[in-house]
């Protein structure tokens, strides 16, 4: 007897769920996936009930109760024919039947044929659609894996540069380093989550997942939210430099730490506790409850909205600064260069997420997946290039160190005391601080952007 066609492929469901979870932490295609889970759980309940009833029944001269992976066939005397309705998930018309006969050799094959043919289920068309979806999901996964790998490598180098060179240590670069770390953790959490979800072939999103799988998803949710909040911190810091004349950078910096790392931990803790008591299914990468959905989505949408408002306000401030008639007469004006470099930096603060942030989840889902997953995975790479490798201050420090290393190689270790290193070129953080203490408020507001002048 040929076995019936299996229910929807768990591999495809797992792949779709994981990609949708990566697309946005709280919008994991819950409705379609949960229909699959409902069906799988219903089939499992019917299977258990059928097997339990079969054990309790007395042996008959005919055919005993049988489970064929989709339908429970009742005990039947020899020579009888049993006619049952098609499973609801396979019969689009709801009026088709299947039958089996009890013979001396036991149950016969399913009549008038396998479930897909007997119940009018177009298995070829469904298989083709499933194959196309799987190819699309696999392509998206390959794309964002390349993007996160490139971003991770670039960000690690940028973190090493900003950490090792002491003259680059200042509040502005400290904030950049925290942003880099949030991108690094986000990329690492994506790889951890994918390795657990895709390597564990026996797991699905319907049964109870193991603790390690749930912990990986919780880590992923936290890293994604922390990344959004550090993008918000970058916007807050730039706005503060332009809008506030005098402020304590140390005091504000600790506030930024609480916003970037503290607030996401609170929301994730609330989400985790709520998830345990409300919806403890699978690996937690599929969200069905609207409460759980909004615990994650609301803070992220708020950060995106606030960053967009800050972007508009910063542009307005820059336009006002460019209004004096003498600005265009001198090429040395800091505000023209400031405007160009800021316009290159502000869109990197998550502004591109506003394209789909406030649309329904089913609006252009495939386009949104490519835009936010594949293109978004390269965001860390672009941020590292603009914030570090194209930073004039970083380039000046690297050139100074390179000249110093060359002198040491040529003249020996004693050259350090006999020859100057030529390290006065470039603008360093310490130089900026000394200038700020003696400069005007307008010079102080623009100092945070001087290192990015080389972008233009």
Q: Residues 102-154: pLDDT tens digits?
A: 888 888 888 887 877 777 765 555 555 677 888 888 889 999 999 999 999 99
Res. 388: pLDDT tops 60: yes
Residue 182, pLDDT > 90, answer yes
Residue 31's pLDDT band, with cuts at 50, 70 and 90, is very low
Residues 6+ positions from 194 with CB-CB distance below 8 Å: 18, 141, 145
Q: Please, which pLDDT band fits residue 402 given cuts at 50, 70 and 90?
A: confident
> What end-to-end distance do the CA atoms of the chain give, in Å?
73
Whether the predicted pLDDT of 98 surpasses 60: yes
- CB burial of 260-270 (b: ≥16 within 10 Å; e: otherwise) equals bbebbeebbee
8 Å CB contact between 388 and 176: yes
Decide: residue 53, CB within 10 A, 0-12 exposed, 13-18 middle, 19+ buried: middle
- More confident: 347 or 438: 347
Q: Which of 220, 197, 231 is nearest to 357 (CA)?
A: 231
DSSP string for residues in 82-98: EEEEPPTTT-SSS--EE
- Per cent of the chain over pLDDT 90 is 21
| Residue that wins the pLDDT comparison between 446 and 54 | 54
Token digits for 242? Answer: 């332009």
Q: According to the model, what pLDDT value does residue 450 have?
A: 44
pLDDT over 50 at 384, yes or no: yes
Q: Which pLDDT tens digit goes with each residue over 54-80?
A: 787 766 677 888 888 888 888 888 888
Asked if residue 446 has pLDDT above 50, the reply is no
What is the average per-residue pLDDT within 369-393?
87
Statement: the pTM of the whole predicted model exceeds 0.75: no
Q: What is the DSSP string of 381-396?
A: HHHHIIIIIT-HHHHH
Kindly report the average pLDDT of the chain as a whole number: 74
| 72-73 and 66-67 strand pairing | antiparallel
Please state the rounded mean pLDDT for residues 234-246: 83
């Amino acid at each position: 007897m040929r076995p019936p066609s299996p229910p929807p492929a768990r591999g495809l469901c797992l792949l779709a769920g994981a990609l949708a979870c990566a697309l946005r932490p709280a919008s994991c295609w819950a409705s379609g996936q949960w229909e699959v889970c409902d069906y799988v759980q219903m089939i499992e309940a019917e299977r258990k009930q059928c097997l339990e009833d079969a054990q309790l029944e007395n042996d008959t001269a005919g055919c005993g109760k049988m489970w064929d992976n989709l339908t429970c066939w009742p005990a039947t005397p020899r020579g009888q024919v049993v006619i049952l309705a098609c499973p609801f998930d396979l019969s689009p018309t709801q009026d088709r039947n299947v039958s089996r006969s009890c013979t001396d050799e036991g149950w016969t094959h399913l009549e008038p044929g396998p479930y897909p043919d007997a119940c009018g289920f177009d298995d070829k068309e469904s298989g083709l659609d499933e194959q196309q979806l799987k190819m699309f999901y696999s392509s998206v996964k390959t794309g964002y894996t390349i993007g996160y790998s490139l971003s991770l490598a670039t960000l690690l180098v940028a973190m090493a540069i900003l950490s090792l060179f002491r003259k680059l240590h200042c509040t502005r670069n400290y904030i950049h380093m925290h942003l880099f770390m949030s991108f690094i953790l986000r990329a690492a959490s994506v790889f951890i989550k994918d390795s657990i979800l895709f390597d564990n072939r026996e797991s699905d999103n319907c049964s109870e997942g193991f603790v390690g799988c749930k912990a990986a998803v919780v880590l992923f949710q936290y890293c994604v939210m922390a990344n959004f909040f550090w993008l918000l911190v970058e916007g807050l810091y730039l706005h503060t430099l332009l809008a506030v004349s005098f402020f304590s950078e140390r005091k504000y910096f600790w506030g930024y730490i609480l916003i970037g790392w503290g607030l996401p931990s609170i929301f994730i803790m609330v989400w985790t506790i709520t998830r345990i008591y409300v919806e403890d299914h699978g690996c937690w990468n599929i969200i069905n409850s609207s409460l759980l959905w909004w615990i994650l989505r609301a803070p992220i949408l708020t950060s995106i909205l606030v960053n967009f408002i800050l972007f508009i306000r910063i542009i307005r401030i820059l336009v006002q600064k460019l209004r004096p008639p003498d600005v265009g007469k001198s090429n040395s004006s800091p505000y023209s260069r400031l405007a160009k470099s800021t316009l290159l930096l502000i869109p990197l603060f998550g502004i591109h997420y506003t394209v789909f942030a406030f649309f329904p989840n089913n609006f252009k889902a495939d386009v949104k997946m490519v835009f936010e997953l594949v293109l978004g995975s390269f965001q860390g790479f672009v941020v590292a290039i603009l914030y570090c490798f194209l930073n004039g201050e970083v380039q000046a420090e690297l050139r100074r160190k390179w000249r110093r290393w060359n002198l040491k190689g040529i003249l020996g270790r004693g050259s350090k005391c006999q020859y100057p290193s030529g390290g006065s070129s470039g603008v360093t953080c310490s130089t900026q601080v000394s200038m700020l203490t003696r400069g005007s408020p307008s010079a102080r507001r623009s100092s945070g952007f001087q290192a990015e002048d080389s972008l233009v």
